[in-house]
Structure 1
Amino acid sequence: MTTSSILRKTILLFSITVICLQLSAQDFSLPKQYNGRRHRGFFLSMALGVNSTKMESDAKYYGLSTYKGIGGAFDLKIGGTLTENLILHATILSHGVTGPKVSSDEFNINDVKTDNDISLSEGMIGAGLTYYTGSNIFFSSSLGMGNFILENDKEDISISTDWGFSMQLKAGKEWWVGKKWGIGVAAYYHHTNGINQEGNIAEEKLSSHNFGIMFNATLNGRK
């Protein structure tokens, strides 16, 4: 081995040693390669499922009426993370019942199923927070404004109520199916209340209690 070869190897070894000492002194660690499966950055959650509805209407003129039924539900959340696993998002929720069962004190009827031309739907627009645990269990709450729409296709009638306070509580579990996509199941409770046509002879106090089960699909971006 020549002197120049030995010198080159000595200089290389010395340089590597110095670099290692500097990294150690700075408590330096190389960044881990991003492999997805984290709740960071952009957030989009879409869900479809079934909903059990109970809506009460306490009207000055018609007394107490109750609408019940089971129908489809849709849930959309879009936003971004405040910190990893904690997400701030807008919430849009909608569900409806075709041919709901109606009870009325005024008309002395109890759980009478209406024609399928009659439908009752409820919606909410608001904002909320969703938190994921390390095992991908999530808890979500949203507050906003909600209203009801009663339609009679046979008579071509559509009645939309005033907007009132609305809220949703939701919890579930997801499993990763890709670097950014997760799918899972969730249960939720949705409540809306308010006063429609306040001060009018037809004024009614509205209140709903909804329970639903949904299949979730979530896209998780990255900062």
Structure 2
Amino acid sequence: MKNKLIALFILCVAVIANAQSVPTIGKSAPREHRGFYNSTSFGIAYNWFDNSLDDTDKYQNRQRHDVEIYEYNGYSFALGEFKFGVAIADLVAFHTVFNVGFFMGTVDYSNERYQEYCTEAGCVNMAQIDGIDDPTSNDAYNFRTYFGFGATFYPFRDKNSPMNGFFVGASLGYTLFVAVINGGNDSATGNGGFGFELEAGKEWWINDHYAIGFGVGFAHSSLVWETVKSHKSDNVLSLSFRMTRG
């Protein structure tokens, strides 16, 4: 009985000692993602959106549609993104996401005007040729921002593995943008919508608490303000260089 008690005591001491040697889930540890988490990145990006404005006047038996179509393509060399949150167990970080970018590119603009007459037999579209604007293409500058909440996963925890530091991330949030169009008469278009961001990349530790790396991302939003079905999306492809703490 005495030997069993001694063995049980030794086992308890070993378990307690081992527990003390392993960092807690949220406690900061060298070269591990635990506790406070902050990631800052800057990079280049390609943005394209299909935006529209459906200005419809409704009457008793007809509707007049005035649909403006904007198709934009642009590049940015100044896309910045900031993440703040908490990392758990050197495995996952939960964080807010905020990014902002200034894009330079071109926008194709067209305007469709027509009337829709409805009777008991159905509705008929009557195109109005007079006054329809010819399609144009002009330089445009787009200011875009995104705010959301997401998570970044670090699935390879073995510090000796060449895959250590590989990450994948995702977030859900809201996008806003305003594009200023240069032409005969300067004008602008803008919209907002709910969407998501996806990212994958690799980081390398440079000391006990900071890592540098790169990420490749894709973002998509479905626009919600007075759009038509065929033109209501915003998209971004990005390559960023990042510094992460925690």
TM-score by length of 2: 0.67
SS at match of 2:10: helix
Structure 2: distance between partners of 1:45 and 1:66: 32
Aligned residue number for residue 14 of structure 2: 27
Deviation at 1:66, TM superposition (A): 0.6
Matches within 5 A, 1:1-223: 22-24=9-11, 26-28=13-15, 29-30=17-18, 31-32=20-21, 36-60=30-54, 61-71=66-76, 72-98=78-104, 100-106=105-111, 107-109=134-136, 112-114=137-139, 118-134=140-156, 135-151=164-180, 161=191, 163-197=192-226, 206-220=232-246
Deviation at 1:145, TM superposition (A): 1.1
Structure 2: distance between partners of 1:113 and 1:183: 39
Structure 1: distance between partners of 2:224 and 2:8: 71
* Per-residue Cα deviation, 1:32-91 (whole angstroms, up to 9, x for no partner): 487600000110010000010111113333443211011131111100024432111111
SS at match of 2:224: strand
Structure 2: distance between partners of 1:157 and 1:83: 51
* Per-residue Cα deviation, 1:181-219 (whole angstroms, up to 9, x for no partner): 000010000112222247xxx9x9531121000001001
Is contact 2:69–2:231 with CA below 8 Å preserved after alignment? no
Q: Please, which runs of 5 or more residues in structure 2 have no aligned partner?
A: 1-5, 24-28, 55-65, 112-133, 157-163
Structure 1: distance between partners of 2:94 and 2:12: 39
Judged with a 3 Å threshold, the aligned counterparts in structure 2 of structure 1 residues 102 and 157 are, in CA distance, closer, same or farther, namely: closer
Letter in 1 for 2:239: I
Judged with a 3 Å threshold, the aligned counterparts in structure 2 of structure 1 residues 73 and 25 are, in CA distance, closer, same or farther, namely: closer
* Per-residue Cα deviation, 1:72-120 (whole angstroms, up to 9, x for no partner): 311111000244321111111222212x2122344324xx451xxx411
Is contact 1:196–1:205 with CA below 8 Å preserved after alignment? no
SS at match of 2:14: coil
Q: Please, which runs of 5 or more residues in structure 1 have no aligned partner?
A: 1-18
Give the length in aligned residue pairs.
193
Letter in 2 for 1:216: R
Is contact 2:33–2:91 with CA below 8 Å preserved after alignment? yes
Structure 2: distance between partners of 1:158 and 1:62: 15
Structure 2: distance between partners of 1:40 and 1:88: 11
Structure 2: distance between partners of 1:41 and 1:96: 32
Structure 2: distance between partners of 1:79 and 1:187: 21
Deviation at 1:132, TM superposition (A): 0.7
TM-score by length of 1: 0.74
Percentage of matched positions with identical amino acids: 21
Letter in 2 for 1:101: T
